[in-house]
Amino acid sequence: MNENQDIQSTRELHAAFSEGRFDRCLELAAPDINVVFQAAGQTMRGREGFMQFMQGLRSAFPDIRIEHTNIFGVAGRVAVEFTWSGTHTGFLVSPAGTLPPSGRSIVDAKACEVMLWNQGRLTHLVNYQDFGSVLRQLGVG
């Protein structure tokens, strides 16, 4: 795989996530994928862990949408900066604890993911979030 294919796979992964198509996200993931959700201090392993990561965000924000700001790739590594928006209608595990649904909208929350791709499969993902902004928008911080 080359950089352009890894970048395209990253775009496809985020589009599928935004559309709630977890099956497609899992097809793009290696069986032994590692996912680090830095803001919550969580590390998840395997496709089951990847599903847990996706469902956690999607259940807290069922209408979550990702929009890329910058994306770079080299030698199986992709860094993508993005914003996300959604409505907080489910429980959210956060650095401040588990937050009950607030009904508030999150607008343009900043995030970055660093991904490792191997032969078209995502093997490692680290998600960094500006959770301070998210908490303020939820009325917590």
Q: Mind listing the pLDDT tens digit for each residue in 74-120?
A: 989 999 999 999 999 999 877 777 899 999 999 999 999 999 999 99
Neighbouring residues of 60: CB distance < 8 A, sequence distance ≥ 6 = 86, 88, 89, 90, 91, 92, 93, 101
Any idea where the domains of the chain sit in the sequence? 3-137
- The residue ranking higher by pLDDT, 25 or 95, is 25
What is the average pLDDT score of the chain? Answer: 94
Stated pTM of the model? 0.92
* Distance separating alpha carbons of residues 137 and 103, to the nearest angstrom: 11
Q: How confident is the model at residue 140 (pLDDT cuts 50, 70, 90)?
A: confident
**What is residue 46's predicted lDDT score, i.e. its pLDDT?**
98
- What is the secondary structure of 72-116 as a DSSP string? EEETTEEEEEEEEEEE--S-EEETTEEEPP--PEEEEEEEEEEEE
Which CATH architecture best describes the domain 3-137? Roll (3.10)
Q: Is the pLDDT reported for residue 1 higher than 70?
A: no
* Distance separating alpha carbons of residues 72 and 94, to the nearest angstrom: 28
For residue 125, give the 3-state DSSP assignment: strand
Residue 23, phi then psi, degrees to nearest 5: -60, -40
